[in-house]
Every structure is written in C-alpha cells, then in structure tokens.
Amino acid sequence: MKAHDGMYIDGEWRPAAGTDAIAVVNPADEQVIAHVPAGTADDVDAAVRAARGALPAWAATPPAERAARITALRDVLVARKDEIAETVTAELGSPLKLSQAVHVGAPIAVAGSYAELAASYAFEEKVGNSTVHLEPVGVVGAITPWNYPLHQIVAKVAPALAAGCTVVLKPAEDTPLTAQLFAEAVHEAGVPAGVFNLVTGLGPVAGQALAGHDGVDLVSFTGSTAVGRQIGATAGAAVKRVALELGGKSANVILPSADLAKAVNVGVANVMSNSGQTCSAWTRMLVHDSQYDEAVALAAEAAAKYGERIGPVVNAKQQQRVRSYIEKGVAEGARLVAGGPEAPRDQGYFVSPTVFADVTPEMTIAQEEIFGPVLSILRYEDESDALRIANGTVYGLAGAVWAGEATEAVAFARRLDTGQVDINGGRFNPLAPFGGYKQSGVGRELGSHGLSEYLQTKSLQF
Ligand code: NAP
Ligand code: MG
C-alpha cells in the first residue's frame, strides 16, 4: 500500500515534526502493510495554525463556491472508488464487496448530499425585525474511529466545509491510509490550502493535543465513551463546542404481529455486517415469549451462514475484547446457540458470528457495547416489558421495530429513548439526522441537522 510519510498541512505534504511511526496492519493476515508518521503536539499546532489562517477566506467564500468544491470532492471519491475500497479492505479487513458498497458508497452519498445542501441551505433568515446570519463556528478538530474509516471522516468534514469551517483531522491509528487518500482527494478537488489538514497519530498524543488546542473552536469526536467523556470535559472547561458520538446498544424489537423470519434475518445481518463494528447495530433482539424458541432457531441458522463471509475485527486488542465479552456471557448464564469465544482461524483477528439466547436485561452482554459479531436475544412478556427492556441501557443511538402494520411499529418507536429507529427494515437515509439520546452522545450528524452543528447564529436588529 502506498503511504505518505508526512502530514497534509496547508495544502501540501510536509515532513512530520518527530520521527515516530505507526505500523498499519492488515487484520485479515496480520501483515504490516505500511507505516505512517505518528504526529505530535507540534504537528497538531502547525495544522491548527494553517486552519486558522485559512478560516477568514473560506468563511467568506460564497456557499455556491463551497458547494462546487464539495461536488468536486465527491467526484474524486467516485473516480477513485476502487482504490479507496481496496485500501479500506487492506487496513480494516472488511470483505471487498462490503468496502465497495458501504465503506465507499455511503460517504459518496453523504458528500453528494452536502454539495447540494451547501448550495441550497438558508444561511440567512428573517425573524421579526432581525436578520439572523448562520456563520461557521470556526476551526474544527475532528477525531474519528476506524469502524467506517471514510464515512466517519466525510460525515464531519463535508458539513464543516459546507458551513465555511476549516478542519484538522486526526483519524484512527488503525486506518490512516484511507484518511491519507481522503486528503489527496481534497487536494485534487481544489479545496484551498489550509481549509483541510490531516495529522495522523495516536489518540493520547495527537488526539489529545487537538482536543485541547486553544485554536480549535469545535471538537467533533466519534469513538469510545471513555475518551468521549474526557474530550467533553476538556471542551467544557475551555467553553468550547463539542459533538460526541459514543456508540450504542440498540434494540431490535420484534412485535408479535411482525414477519418473524424477515425480522430475525435482517436483524442478524445488521449485527454481523462489518463484523459487528457498527455503533448503531441492533445488538439486542427482543422477542415475545410465544415466538422466542422459533426466533432463536432462525437466528442461529442465519448466523451460521456468516461463518465464511465475515471479515476480521480491526486488531488483536478488539479481538481479545470481544472474546472476553463472549466468555462473560457464558459465565453469566446466557446460552450460546452459534459461535463462541474460540478464534475460528489461526491467522487474522477473526471472531465467530455469535448468538446468545436466554439473555436477561441485566447481563453484561445486554448492557455494554461489545463491538463485535455478537447478538443477544432477550425475551419479553408484553409490550410494556419490551419497552422497559429496550430503554434499559445507558445508550440510545438507534434501533428497529417490526410489526404487521407500520402504524403499530411507529407507535412503539415513538416511546423508545433513541435517536434513530428503522421501521420494518427501513433503508439508510444520508439526510436523516444521526446521533444519540442519553449517553450515546451529544449532537447530530448528517443532513441539515448535521450541518447546523457547524454553524453559529448572529442576529442583526433593524
Ligand atoms: P477510541 O480510542 O475512543 O478511538 C476513537 C478515536 O479517538 C481514535 O482516533 C483514537 O485514536 C482517538 N483517541 C483515543 N484516545 C484519545 C484521547 N485521549 N484524546 C483524543 N483522542 C483520542 O476507540 P477505540 O479504542 O478505537 O475502540 C474502543 C471501543 O470504542 C470499541 O470497542 C467500541 O465499543 C467503541 N467505538 C465506538 C465507535 C463509534 O462509532 N461510536 C467507533 C469505534 C469504537 P487511536 O486510534 O490512536 O486510539
Ligand atoms: Mg484507542
């Protein structure tokens, strides 16, 4: 794999301030495929200065011109889609088909949506005797995880650019090559120097320096709750805006009137896709007592089919973490009906598609985010019981409800404490706001709601 040995700052690839490097590993075969520089506080500082320097001109650039640059960026991503898919597969391990359809397809759709929004959004509104201007918040520090390497970047950078903000990105250490390709695409799209900057590096070094930098006006973070809490506290102390997307433990509620086989099959696919490394995955399936045994049998059968198709998890640490959760599930009395803690292959960080039955709401595997291909099936007695279980975690990111009629599912969905619900298998919508209730986070991404996170208001009275 081709890798840059510098940082993308102020429109060019510059040598890193230090000499430390990060080895990029292919999780499917454990081979080192490239090295990228591990940035320090000095690299972050240079990038933030470049972003500050570029801010006034970019903020003053007419929205139609910002839209044209985002359109060009989308077009470069389209033109280079095969190369990007191969890179995601090499550093994340996802099967190539998944990389093409989801890891590249979704961010192209999101970039396209922000090209349109930048051109059509009302950056000025009248309220009585006032004119309200929606102005960019300023310099954005974006910190992204590895699970959807390009999507997580585009979901922050595209709306930031549309709003007129400038950006410093610190991508996950496991997937820096996709981030470097994105920087190349930004360059090729003719985005002015300094508007977008990339510093690869480790979270506690480069990430922390970015989150705490005085020159950053908004920190947008996606990742673990532990790091999110710390970033939120740092931002709060500095009276700085912050957006946090911290994962979930979403419920897939199958009401008795639903098409059970469809609901179970789609539910299993949702959890196993991307090896379970999806923050919005429906990792808890809730089934009525009368259909429980049938649902468990269907889920076990569906999961077994994923054995050959599923990719590895991202690294050895995540593999170990997921396997410990599976062991904990067994120890706490849940019943394994598919998969288990043993690694299915000698090489690569693979985890068997795993399904637990007889999971009770208080078990660790029903409460904590596992981030691996592990599904828990819980039993409910009636609707109020289902609602209590579905809402009974600290998270509230996503979910699903299935019923014979959409109206019945909608009535249930309205009582869920969660930011997004798919009704009878609804499709991904790149314009729908995405983000959490409760400890799943603060703020929303995607669509016009995602754009407004990067704007602040100025009211002029007449
Ligand atoms: P993480 O450490 O929170 O990583 C997210 C991003 O934050 C990465 O770019 C990371 O850099 C950076 N980071 C780490 N420590 C930081 C610090 N002190 N200050 C600033 N930035 C920092 O998450 P992880 O270790 O990759 O995954 C652990 C768990 O988090 C997963 O098992 C899963 O439960 C959850 N997770 C959630 C999502 C989501 O979409 N919400 C995504 C990924 C993971 P490094 O890459 O160098 O660590
Ligand atoms: Mg980490």
Are the C-beta atoms of 95 and 31 separated by less than 8 Å? no
What is the 87 CA–ligand 1 centroid distance (Å)?
20
How confident is the model over 428-433, as a mean pLDDT? 96
Secondary structure (3-state) at 28 = coil
Ligand 1 pocket mutation, candidates 22, 156, 224, criterion most atoms within 8 A of CB: 224
What is the 448 CA–ligand 2 centroid distance (Å)?
30
In the predicted structure, residue 30 carries a pLDDT above the cut 80: yes
Are the C-beta atoms of 159 and 132 separated by less than 8 Å? no
pLDDT digits (tens, 9 = 90+) for 340-355: 999 999 999 999 999 9
Our answer on whether the CB atom of 247 is closer than 6 Å to any ligand 1 atom is yes
Ligand nearest to the backbone CA of 318 = 1
Task: Please give the model's pTM, rounded to 2 decimal places.
Answer: 0.98
What is the 222 CA–ligand 1 centroid distance (Å)?
7
Our answer on whether the CB atom of 246 is closer than 6 Å to any ligand 1 atom is yes
How confident is the model over 252-257, as a mean pLDDT? 98
Ligand nearest to the backbone CA of 143 = 1
Our answer on whether the CB atom of 147 is closer than 6 Å to any ligand 1 atom is yes
- Candidate list 91, 165, 279, 445, residue with the active-site label: 279
pLDDT digits (tens, 9 = 90+) for 98-132: 999 999 999 999 999 999 999 999 999 999 999 99
- % of residues, the chain, pLDDT over 90: 99
Beta strand pairing call for 251-254 and 284-288: parallel
The half-sphere exposure of 52 on its side-chain side, counting CA atoms within 13 A, is: 11
pLDDT digits (tens, 9 = 90+) for 278-288: 999 999 999 99
Question: What pLDDT shows up at residue 9?
Answer: 99
Rounded distance between C-alpha atoms, residue 429 and residue 15, angstroms: 40
393-410 residues labelled b (16+ CB within 10 A) or e (exposed): bebbbbbbbbbeeeebbe
Question: What pLDDT shows up at residue 2?
Answer: 85
In the predicted structure, residue 308 carries a pLDDT above the cut 90: no
pLDDT digits (tens, 9 = 90+) for 178-223: 999 999 999 999 999 999 999 999 999 999 999 999 999 999 999 9
In the predicted structure, residue 56 carries a pLDDT above the cut 90: yes
Are the C-beta atoms of 37 and 178 separated by less than 8 Å? no
Our answer on whether the CB atom of 208 is closer than 6 Å to any ligand 1 atom is yes
Ligand nearest to the backbone CA of 146 = 1
pLDDT digits (tens, 9 = 90+) for 330-386: 999 999 999 999 999 999 999 999 999 999 999 999 999 999 999 999 999 999 999
pLDDT digits (tens, 9 = 90+) for 133-180: 999 999 999 999 999 999 999 999 999 999 999 999 999 999 999 999
What is the 174 CA–ligand 2 centroid distance (Å)?
9
How confident is the model over 30-39, as a mean pLDDT? 98
Are the C-beta atoms of 176 and 144 separated by less than 8 Å? no
Give the type of residue at 423. Answer: I
Cα end-to-end span (Å), the chain: 59
What is the torsion angle, in degrees rounded to the nearest 10, for the CA atoms of residue 414, residue 417, residue 420 and residue 422?
-60
Our answer on whether the CB atom of 227 is closer than 6 Å to any ligand 1 atom is yes
Give start and end residues of each alpha helix (H) in 400-446.
406-413
As a three-state string, the secondary structure of 226-285 is HHHHHHHHHHHHCCCEEEEECCCCCEEEECCCCCHHHHHHHHHHHHHHHHHCCCCCCCEE
Are the C-beta atoms of 35 and 176 separated by less than 8 Å? no
Give, for 222, the enclosing helix (H) or strand (E): strand 218-222
Distant-in-sequence, close-in-space partners of 46: CB < 8 Å, separation ≥ 6 = 7, 9, 10, 14, 17
- Candidate list 91, 173, 245, 408, residue with the active-site label: 245
| Domains of the chain, each with CATH number or no CATH | 6-246+439-461 (3.40.605.10), 251-429 (3.40.309.10)
What is the torsion angle, in degrees rounded to the nearest 10, for the CA atoms of residue 209, residue 211, residue 216 and residue 219?
160
Rounded distance between C-alpha atoms, residue 150 and residue 319, angstroms: 22
Q: How far is CA 111 from CA 8, 105, 141, 329, in A?
A: 20, 10, 19, 40
Rounded distance between C-alpha atoms, residue 176 and residue 143, angstroms: 12
Q: Which residue has the tokens 């690299």?
A: 43
Question: What pLDDT shows up at residue 10?
Answer: 98
Annotation says 279 is catalytic: yes
At residue 198's C-alpha, the angle toward residues 195 and 204, to 5°, is: 130
Shortest-distance Cα residue to atom 12 of ligand 1: 203
Sign of the Cα pseudo-torsion (325, 329, 335, 341, in order): positive
Annotation says 245 is catalytic: yes
Secondary structure (3-state) at 129 = coil
Are the C-beta atoms of 319 and 371 separated by less than 8 Å? no
